[in-house]
Amino acid sequence: MTLDFLGTLQRTHTCGELRTTHSGQTITLMGWVNRRRDHGNLIFLDLRDRTGITQVVLDKEVSPEAHAKAEAARPEYVIAVTGVLRNRGEGLANPNMPTGDVELVAHSLLLLNDAKTPPFSPAEDAIANEEVRLQYRYIDLRRAEMQKNFLVRSRVAMAIRNYLVSQGFLEIETPFMTRSTPEGARDYLVPSRVHPGHFYALPQSPQIFKQILMISGFDRYFQIARCFRDEDLRADRQPEFTQIDLEISFPQMSTIFAVAEGFLHAAFRAAGIELPDEPFIQMTYDQAIQKYGIDKPDMRLPAMVDLSATITPELRESLKIDPTLPILGFTIPRVSTLSGTQRRGLVDEIRKFFGDSGLDFLDVARLRTNATFVPLAETIEGRLSAEMSRFNGVSHTSEDLAVVITPKPGTPAMWNYDPQWIYKRIGALRLELAKKFADKHKLFEQTQTAADFKFLWVTDFPMYEWNEETKTWDAAHHPFTSPHEEDIKSGALVNDKGSVRALAYDVVLNGTELGSGSIRIHRKDVQSEIFRSLGMSDEEAKARFGFFLDALEYGTPPHGGIALGLDRIVMILAGAQSLREVIAFPKTAKAIDLMVDAPTTVSDAQLRELSLRTVTRS
């Protein structure tokens, strides 16, 4: 088989744009053979490019030479065809294709390149083996689903850019090679050849640089930034990722919220979804924990309810419930009526979930069958149903599952260690049961309508978190986050770190954290005090952050910002289950790029040049 050169031939249209209005025109298309059907004197080629597919007809009587070349063509061959577009005959239109009313009758065909038989066909809707997809990513990316995902990504990124520019933001790039700073994960390090024994770090985020840009007087900065974190991977995490990063001078928290909500509206609009024109719900971290047991609540599910006042001290004693701890309940909607066997199995599951934690399950169904407890059961169910309706409008039905968790006497050991432990544990059960019955309540099914997306802001996160391993207090967000002013004045930074609240906030969508931010520290004295409160000496702080502490002395304005994960936003808008579906060249869960086979070893000469040598870890 002889391949052709393109020469001076130019494409006139793309494969997805042709309609009946183009009929009668001479058209040149170029692309890949998606499918081939041979009917002897007639050969049909479905020609594919990024925009779609057009059916091409090779008629031996019209063009014997083009027909002969089509006999050699196979799926994934790259071809160019020129011909006259015509309407398909009556009853021959394909309603499943945008171009299904027309076909191109070719009078010439060029075979621009051949193709080996691929390990899977881009014409397939789904490929089971993800490792094969990642190894042959250039073939995987040809699939219509993947092309759609990256069209959504491009449109969303452009919509965000346009919105932020319209709001007075400047797009400014920050370095990829910087110094290691504490951001909550391990850094990727880059050895310096000209400074042996010294290393750059790839940025986990542009945090310090964007603060310095505020010190520099740029007022409003953004970039769609690449970030790098050496951490364990999962479906919504990659070692390198993209975030929408912004910073504002002289903001209130509400200023940042309005900007982030504005570009999220623009992003969703670019994906064909018009969000309601109303502010996102807000709640504090403590409210989120007490209502949902988690700092990223899924608002599609009803909240937890504190039933402590419903059950009297006498009832607590008779039901063997700890007199000092809260009694929490929640509802899983539309579970359907459970048989006795199913309910007993569920009770056993719940008890296994809690193990020896001291928490137990109060069976509301059994209370309802006991004359003594019927009013109690009805009161409990009424309160759970009211909460369900109030929080997300899910209507109450007789098929809802009411769950009440009761602490056994003598439980307080863990309660004393973490006062929010009981809320977090029951919140985890709430999510576990919601997943178990997801096929029944269907609240997690995304139909890509505005009503499917439940946004909220979570504010006032703890400033510090206790590290049980090191027996020290760590920064819960990062050490450049400002505490509440009253917590600084009260002396809690020294005397009661566990009570200090940060001016930090997350934006959450359907139980996924889209991004986080904070009002920053803009005074050197406060920043130095925060470093000291984290166990960092003044000398260590100067060695690590001297340049930043110096900058704070030159008229730093109050400032704050936020960073949202672009990959996560696009994953949700594309209806994908993994970030790997919306990142062009992702890594596996073991941080391997299967297509280029990275990471790899390097030569001894390269190591010597960098003054490095490798050692085997025991």
Higher pLDDT among residues 235 and 144, named by residue: 144
pLDDT of residue 183: 57
For residue 455, pLDDT beyond 90: yes
30's enclosing H/E stretch is strand 26-39
Distance CA 257, CA 463 (A): 20
pLDDT of residue 394: 63
pLDDT of residue 12: 98
Q: What is the DSSP string of 195-242?
A: STT-EEE--S--HHHHHHHHHTT--EEEEEEEEE-B---BTTB-SEEE
Task: Give the phi and the psi of residue 475 in degrees, each rounded to 5.
Answer: -70, 125
Q: Which range is least confidently modeled, 34-48, 193-207, 376-390?
A: 376-390
Q: Which range is least confidently modeled, 59-73, 95-109, 297-311, 331-345?
A: 331-345
Q: How many alpha carbons fall within 13 Å on the CB side of residue 54?
A: 35
pLDDT of residue 388: 73
Task: Give the phi and the psi of residue 473 in degrees, each rounded to 5.
Answer: -90, 130
pLDDT digits (tens, 9 = 90+) for 564-608: 999 999 999 999 989 999 999 999 988 999 999 999 999 999 999
For residue 138, pLDDT beyond 70: yes
In the three-class reduction of DSSP (H, G, I as helix; E, B as strand; rest coil), residue 465 is classed as strand
Distance CA 2, CA 507 (A): 58
For residue 505, pLDDT beyond 70: yes
517, 561 in Cβ contact below 8 A? yes
For residue 502, pLDDT beyond 90: yes
Distance CA 218, CA 93 (A): 57
pLDDT digits (tens, 9 = 90+) for 5-21: 999 999 999 999 999 99
Distance CA 561, CA 520 (A): 8
Domain 20-113, CATH class in plain words: mainly beta
148's enclosing H/E stretch is helix 144-166
pLDDT digits (tens, 9 = 90+) for 88-109: 988 899 999 999 999 999 999 9
In the three-class reduction of DSSP (H, G, I as helix; E, B as strand; rest coil), residue 271 is classed as coil
**pTM, to two decimals:** 0.91
80: pLDDT confidence band, cut at 50, 70 and 90? very high
Kindly list the distances between the CA atom of residue 276 and the CA atoms of 262, 266, 345, 449, 564, in Å, as whole numbers in the listed order. 11, 12, 42, 11, 20
Higher pLDDT among residues 299 and 184, named by residue: 299
For residue 221, pLDDT beyond 90: yes
110: pLDDT confidence band, cut at 50, 70 and 90? very high
Task: Give the phi and the psi of residue 97 in degrees, each rounded to 5.
Answer: -120, 135
Task: Look at residues 585, 593, 582 and name the one whose alpha carbon lies nearest to residue 157.
Answer: 582
149, 574 in Cβ contact below 8 A? yes
pLDDT of residue 19: 97
Average pLDDT over residues 281-295: 96
For residue 236, pLDDT beyond 80: no
Kindly list the distances between the CA atom of residue 329 and the CA atoms of 363, 440, 498, in Å, as whole numbers in the listed order. 11, 20, 27
pLDDT digits (tens, 9 = 90+) for 513-529: 999 999 999 999 999 99
Burial of 436 (0-12, 13-18, 19+ CB in 10 A): middle
For residue 391, pLDDT beyond 70: no
**Same-fold call for 20-113 versus 127-277+557-613:** no
In the three-class reduction of DSSP (H, G, I as helix; E, B as strand; rest coil), residue 606 is classed as helix
In the three-class reduction of DSSP (H, G, I as helix; E, B as strand; rest coil), residue 519 is classed as strand
Query: Where do the domains of the chain lie?
Result: 20-113, 127-277+557-613, 301-443
Q: What is the DSSP string of 54-113?
A: EEEEEETTT-HHHHHHHHH--TT-EEEEEEEEEEPPTT---TTSTTTTEEEEEEEEEEEE
Task: Look at residues 585, 556, 581 and name the one whose alpha carbon lies nearest to residue 567.
Answer: 581
Higher pLDDT among residues 412 and 494, named by residue: 494
Domain 127-277+557-613, CATH class in plain words: alpha beta
pLDDT of residue 185: 78
What is the DSSP code (8-state) at residue 556?
P
449: pLDDT confidence band, cut at 50, 70 and 90? confident
Which residue is it, tokens 């009661």? 496
154 is written with which tokens?
């491009």
Average pLDDT over residues 490-518: 92
Distance CA 257, CA 245 (A): 14
Average pLDDT over residues 59-73: 96
Higher pLDDT among residues 394 and 529, named by residue: 529
In the three-class reduction of DSSP (H, G, I as helix; E, B as strand; rest coil), residue 162 is classed as helix
Distance CA 161, CA 242 (A): 14
Burial of 571 (0-12, 13-18, 19+ CB in 10 A): buried
Higher pLDDT among residues 150 and 380, named by residue: 150
